[in-house]
């Protein structure tokens, strides 16, 4: 039994982490830390991680669901206390701080897991296997969703380090870096930033491989109606399409049976395995692509965002 504490009890914790932990017999949620001090049905809740570590029950691991801007210090406290750490995506506000956390995890002999939940979408493993032996000629990403629906009141997402539209779009990049047989590099980006915030609300990113394959990503945080989370790859053997964030897979328009979509249960299964093996899993490739898009991207100031 892995005794785990949850830090940051917001929407993603309630919607995904708590149910996933309840469904995995290897974990026992024994404490939480959140400034809102929510009622978790008898589970002790502390104001912050320092209070949880000092006054709470004994822990083996900590899952961090705080905004990325606050992640570094919280993760360092857990790692230095000898706890295995699960990082909600994105794993940090910068690429270098994740490298720092990995070094601290090694120093203290504990596991660090940079979780990318979209990689555990039902269609992703089969898409990766199908593309592995094929030449991908072109790939497009269309990631368009309604920020008011999925991130209500989450002002941190618009602040420096919050990533704006890249908070959901990094899910697409995590799938891309998982399924592509070759490494991917950013070549250009165009970012639209509302005049009253720090992070983009829409954008276009051009990428490539060493072989020169064209990859494009069109991102939008203002799409109403049906939401679009699609990745399409053209090969010599047909067109592969992942839809609904990777939950559905088609090849040349024919649906492929992929089974139940179990993203967060899959994450905690991986975390339990890593703990059992004493092995960290730290992958910053999706975050690096976002950082590169910010570095090379041109910025267009657009009208203010009002929730």
What is the structure's pLDDT at 249?
A: 98
pLDDT of the residue at 209: 97
Question: Measured between alpha carbons, how far is residue 30 from residues 5, 11, 34, 190, 276 in Å?
Answer: 6, 19, 14, 45, 19
- Give pLDDT, residue 275: 98
In the prediction, which pLDDT does 108 show?
Answer: 98
User: What's the pLDDT at 102?
Assistant: 98
Q: Which CATH superfamily is domain 2-114 in?
A: NAD(P)-binding Rossmann-like Domain (3.40.50.720)
Task: Tell me, yes or no, if 83 is annotated catalytic.
Answer: no
> Per residue in 182-203, pLDDT tens?
999 999 999 999 999 999 999 9
Those residues of the chain that have pLDDT short of 70 are none
Q: Do domains 2-114 and 122-258+291-302 have the same CATH topology?
A: no
Query: Each residue of 20-76: pLDDT tens digit?
Result: 999 999 999 999 999 999 999 999 999 999 999 999 999 999 999 999 998 999 999
CATH topology of domain 122-258+291-302: Dihydrodipicolinate Reductase; domain 2 (3.30.360)
Q: Which of 11, 25, 55, 89 is catalytic?
A: 89
Domain ranges within the chain, ordered by starting residue: 2-114, 122-258+291-302
């Amino acid at each position: 039994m892995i005794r785990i504490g949850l830090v940051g009890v917001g929407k993603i914790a309630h919607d995904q982490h708590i149910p996933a932990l309840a469904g995995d017999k290897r974990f026992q949620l024994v404490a939480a830390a959140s400034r809102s001090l929510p009622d978790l049905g008898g589970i002790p809740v502390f104001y912050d991680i320092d209070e949880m570590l000092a006054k709470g029950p004994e822990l083996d691991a900590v899952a961090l669901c705080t905004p990325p801007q606050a992640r570094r210090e919280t993760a360092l406290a857990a790692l230095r206390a000898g706890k295995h750490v699960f990082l909600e995506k994105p794993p940090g506000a910068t690429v270098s701080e994740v490298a720092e956390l990995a070094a601290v995890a090694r120093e203290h002999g504990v596991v660090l897991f940079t979780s990318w939940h979209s990689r555990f979408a039902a269609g992703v493993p089969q898409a990766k296997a199908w593309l592995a032996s094929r030449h991908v000629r072109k790939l497009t990403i269309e990631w368009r969703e309604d920020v008011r629906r999925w991130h209500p009141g989450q002002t941190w997402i618009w602040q420096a380090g919050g990533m704006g539209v890249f908070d959901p779009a990094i899910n697409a990049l995590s799938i891309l870096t998982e399924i592509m047989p070759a490494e991917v590099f950013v070549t250009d980006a165009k970012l639209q930033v509302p005049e009253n915030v720090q992070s983009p609300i829409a954008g276009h990113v051009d990428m490539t491989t060493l072989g020169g394959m064209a990859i494009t990503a069109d991102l939008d945080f203002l799409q109403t109606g049906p939401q679009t989370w699609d990745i399409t790859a053209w090969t010599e053997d047909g067109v592969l399409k992942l839809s609904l964030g990777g939950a559905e897979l088609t090849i040349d328009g024919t649906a492929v049976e992929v089974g139940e979509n179990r993203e967060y249960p899959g994450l905690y299964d991986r975390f339990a395995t890593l703990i059992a093996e004493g092995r960290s899993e730290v992958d910053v490739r999706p975050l690096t692509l976002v950082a590169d898009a910010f570095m090379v991207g041109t910025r267009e100031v657009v009208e203010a965002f009002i929730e």
